[in-house]
Structure formats: C-alpha cells, structure tokens
C-alpha cells in the first residue's frame, strides 16, 4: 500500500509540473511570438521608427531646396506731422497713409554643389534610418531569443531535478523497507536521506533560477511582470538532431552574405557616405553663390483729410511694377571658417571610413565564430546523446544491483549524479545549437522572426 502511495505521489508531482507550464486555460507562447511581441513593444525600436521619419522629412526638405521660394509682403504706414510729399518731394505738415504690396520669388542657381550633395546626404540618411530600425528590431529579437532559450534551459533543469527527486524518493522508500527487513543498514538509509535532501534543495534552486529567467524574458519582451507567460516546451522533447540538419554552405559564403545584408554594417556604410557628402558640401563655403529673383510690387498713397486722389484699384494698377535679377555672392574672407570646415569634413570622412572597416572586420569575426559554434554544438549534442544513453543504462544497472545488495549507496549516488550532469549538458548543448542556428540564418539574410511559423502557431 505504501509502495503504491509513493508511486502515486511521484506521478502527481510529474503531472503537476506539466500542468504548471501547459495549463489548458493558458495560452502557449512560442519563440517567434515572443520575439514579435518584444519588437512591437520595445522602446528603442519605437525611437528608431521616429528617427527614420525625421530622416524622411530631412529628405523632403532637401528636395524643397531645389524649388523656388515665394514670399509675399505688405505694409501699412501712417505719418502725421511734417512729412515728405512723394509727388513734389517737399515737406508738408499733413497726415498721410501709405500702403505697399510685394510678391517675390527666388531660386538658388548655384551654391557650390551643396544642394545636390545635401539631397544625396538626406537619401543616405534615410537608408541609415532604415538600417538602424532593422538593427534595433533584430537585436531585440535576438536578445529575446536568448532569454527564451535561457528560460527553457532552466525549465528543463527543473524538470530533470524533479525527476531526480522522484527517483531519490522512490529509492529512499525502498531502502527504508529493506532496512526494516534487515537487508540494508542505517548507513545506507542515512546516505539515501542525505541524497534526497540534496535533490530537494536542487529542485528548489532550479525553480528559483527558472523564475528569475522568466522575469528576464518578460523584461526583454516588455511584457507585464504580473501576467502569466506560458512557454512552448516542445523544443525540449524534440527528436535527436542529425548531421543532415547541418547546412553545407562554407563559412566564407555566410560571411559574403552578411557583409551585404547586415544592418549594423549597413549603418557604418551609410555614415561613411553621409560623411562623403558633407565633405563635398563643405566646398560651398569657399565658392560663390548665384541666385535668381523676380517679383511684382505696388503701392497706395493718400493724404488724409484731402480728396482728389485716385481710388485704391486705379493706384494699385498704376503703381504696379515687375522686376527680376541675379544675385552673386562671393566669400572673400570668412575668418578661416571655410577652410576649417573643409578640413574637419575631410577628417570626419576618414573617421567614418575607419569605423566602417573596423565594423566589417568585427562582423567577419562574429560570423565565423557563429558558424564554428553551430558546428561545434551540433557535434557536442550528438556525443552527449550517446553519453546520456550510456549513463542511463549504467544508472539503472547500478540501482538494481544496489537493491539486490551487490553495490553501495555511494555507487548509486555517483551514477545518478553523472546521469544528471550528462542530461543537463545535453540540454544545454541542444538549446545552444538551436540558438546558433538561428544566429547563422540571421547572418545569411533570413529574418530573425519566422513569420510563417508565427502564423501557423496563431
């Protein structure tokens, strides 16, 4: 009866663990869904979106610099006391009213090439904003992916610890029964009790680590900490990984693709292009500027308390005039500001070039490291699968011999610890391999978030 009760206790603990993470009333969140949620609610991503809109407005303003500017003006003037009569050009002690109107259009014909270079700079800035936005999205998704993998890992270690505690409870019960029958000694019982206490502590510790990992994941997602978040644990029970899953592409191919599509390197490239346009635009500080202007003007004049003046419409038509002209501005001496700005722009362009080359080298190193890690963790996973299978057989044989009195409790504890360590390392290598696969796919230009899988899960 006690044996059945103990087994029922173990079974209930296992079921409770599954219900805690896969409760029917709770919605399961997969990796891609968590990443999509994190991207949609990330503050940095929202800032990059607003910055991208500002870059687009700068481009619109740069386009508008090619269009003529139109200004309209009007003025009202009331004079009293001594004033100049505009008809006789003599002083009169009268009160007058003067009204003027003007409409002028002007367009810059040449500004040292700054208009064209400013437009090119604005277009490069728009591309920079797009790359920065994509980088923010990708970084948020990858950080969420890492946090999700960490949470899965600690859930897996908690599950292994729960399984280990159930084994210790069962073995402790049998050892006590055998001690009552005289088949085991008090030392064996004490050793099993110590192991059971250690496993209970380990389970509590792993639960705390899992809770902390879940809080980190919610923080990365900007998910309400008080709300429940149920993870999809199918990856923990996935079938064995085969060598056929390893892509056949060479690391050099992945590097070549990454250099052309990586948003971080794209930003460095756009910064270099912007610096080049600013360097070319700095020539405008020492070159002449030519502008064309044209307009119309008219006026209305009247002495107050005096009649005989033409009405407003006639005066407006009679005084209406047109004009146009060219304006040439030549900077002769601007206190060295032109030369200084040109040299600073040249230095900024060189700095941007060095930053681009540095980012390019760093990206190559990261890609090669990611490909190497992916291959390494795949091999580790395959080896650990074999080791777990062997350690599992060794533990079962050792436990059976212990129950038969052929081996000591220390042998059982040693094999049980070895099996737990192997299962933990297998879990770690498997999840890390999945993380490296997604990272390499990202460097190959694939989206971090699998939208097709997201649609299927929804």
Share of the chain residues as helix, strand and coil, in percent rounded to the nearest 5: 70, 15, 20
For residues 358-362, give the mean pLDDT: 96
More confident residue, 307 or 124: 124
Place of tokens 């219900």: 19
What pLDDT does residue 15 have? Answer: 37
What pLDDT does residue 457 have? Answer: 55
More confident residue, 96 or 203: 203
pLDDT over 80 at 95, yes or no: no
Report the alpha-carbon distance of residue 222 to residue 41 in Å, rounded: 6
Burial state string for 85-100 with b = 16 or more CB within 10 A and e = fewer than 16: eeeeeeeeeeebeebe
What pLDDT does residue 1 have? Answer: 36
How many secondary structure helices (H) and strands (E) does the chain include?
11, 8
Answer yes or no: are the C-beta atoms of 93 and 86 closer than 8 Å: no
What pLDDT does residue 5 have? Answer: 40
| Angle made by CA atoms 83, 89, 95, in degrees to the nearest 5 | 25
What pLDDT does residue 86 have? Answer: 64
**Which range is least confidently modeled, 172-181, 221-230, 245-254, 425-434?**
245-254
pLDDT over 60 at 241, yes or no: no
CA 180 to chain centre: 63
| Angle made by CA atoms 207, 11, 180, in degrees to the nearest 5 | 100
For residues 261-280, give the mean pLDDT: 94
For residues 148-155, give the mean pLDDT: 96
For residues 370-383, give the mean pLDDT: 91
Report the alpha-carbon distance of residue 295 to residue 102 in Å, rounded: 7
Place of tokens 């607003």: 50
The confidence band for 386, taking pLDDT boundaries of 50, 70 and 90, is: very high
Nearest CA to 17 out of 134, 155, 122 is that of 155
**Which range is least confidently modeled, 47-56, 72-81, 414-423, 435-444?**
72-81
Answer yes or no: are the C-beta atoms of 115 and 277 closer than 8 Å: no
Q: Half-sphere exposure of 66 toward its Cβ, with a 13 Å CA cutoff? A: 11
What is residue 283's DSSP assignment?
Answer: G
Mean per-residue pLDDT of the chain? 86
Answer yes or no: are the C-beta atoms of 88 and 125 closer than 8 Å: no
For residues 79-100, give the mean pLDDT: 73
Residue 328: is it exposed, middle or buried by C-beta count within 10 angstroms (0-12/13-18/19+)? exposed
pLDDT tens string 75-89? 988 877 776 666 677
φ/ψ (deg, to 5) at 206: -65, -35
User: Is the C-alpha dihedral spanning 220, 221, 227, 231 positive or negative?
Assistant: negative
Residues facing 327 on adjacent strands: 291
More confident residue, 159 or 5: 159
For residues 339-363, give the mean pLDDT: 94
What pLDDT does residue 9 have? Answer: 42
Answer yes or no: are the C-beta atoms of 118 and 389 closer than 8 Å: no
Task: Please give the structure tokens belonging to residue 229.
Answer: 């978040």
């Amino acid at each position: 009866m006690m044996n059945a009760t103990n087994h029922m206790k173990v079974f209930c603990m296992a079921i409770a663990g599954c219900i805690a993470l896969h409760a029917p009333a709770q919605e399961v969140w997969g990796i891609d869904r968590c990443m999509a949620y994190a991207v949609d609610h990330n503050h940095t991503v929202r800032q990059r979106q607003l910055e991208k809109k500002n870059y687009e407005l700068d481009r619109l303003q740069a386009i508008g610099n090619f269009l003529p500017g139109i200004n309209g003006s009007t003025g009202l003037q009331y004079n009293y006391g001594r004033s100049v009569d505009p008809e006789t050009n003599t002083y009169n002690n009268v009160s007058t009213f003067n009204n003027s109107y003007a409409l002028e259009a002007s367009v810059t014909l040449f500004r040292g090439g700054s208009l064209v270079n400013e437009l090119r700079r604005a277009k490069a800035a728009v591309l920079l904003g797009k790359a920065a936005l994509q980088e923010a999205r990708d970084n948020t998704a990858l950080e969420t992916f890492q946090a999700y993998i960490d949470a899965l890992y600690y859930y897996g270690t908690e599950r292994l610890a729960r399984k280990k505690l159930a084994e210790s409870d069962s073995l402790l019960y049998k050892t006590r029964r055998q001690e009552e029958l005289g088949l085991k000694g008090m030392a064996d019982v004490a050793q099993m009790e110590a192991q059971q206490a250690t496993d209970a502590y380990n389970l509590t510790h792993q639960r705390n680590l899992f809770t902390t990992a879940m809080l980190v994941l919610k923080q990365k997602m900007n998910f309400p900490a008080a709300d429940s978040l149920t993870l999809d644990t199918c990856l923990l029970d996935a079938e064995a990984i085969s060598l056929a899953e390893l892509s056949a592409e060479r690391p050099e191919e992945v590097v070549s693709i990454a250099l052309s599509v990586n948003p971080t390197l794209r930003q460095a490239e756009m910064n270099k292009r912007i610096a080049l346009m600013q360097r070319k635009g700095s020539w405008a500080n020492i070159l002449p500027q030519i502008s064309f202007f044209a307009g119309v003007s008219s006026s209305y004049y009247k002495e107050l308390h005096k009649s005989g003046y033409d009405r407003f419409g006639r005066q407006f038509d009679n005084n209406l005039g047109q004009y146009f002209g060219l304006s040439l501005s030549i900077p002769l001496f601007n206190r060295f500001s032109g030369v200084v700005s040109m040299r600073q722009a040249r230095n900024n362009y060189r700095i941007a070039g060095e930053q681009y080359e540095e980012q390019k080298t760093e990206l190559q190193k990261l890609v090669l490291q990611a490909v190497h890690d992916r291959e390494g963790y795949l091999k580790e996973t395959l080896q650990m699968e074999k080791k777990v299978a062997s350690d599992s057989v060794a533990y079962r044989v050792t436990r059976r011999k212990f129950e038969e009195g052929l081996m000591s409790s220390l042998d059982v504890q040693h094999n049980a610890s070895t099996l737990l360590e192997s299962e933990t390392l297998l879990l770690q290598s498997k999840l890390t391999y999945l993380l490296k696969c997604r990272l390499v796919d990202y460097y190959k230009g694939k989206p971090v978030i699998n939208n097709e899988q997201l649609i299927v899960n929804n």
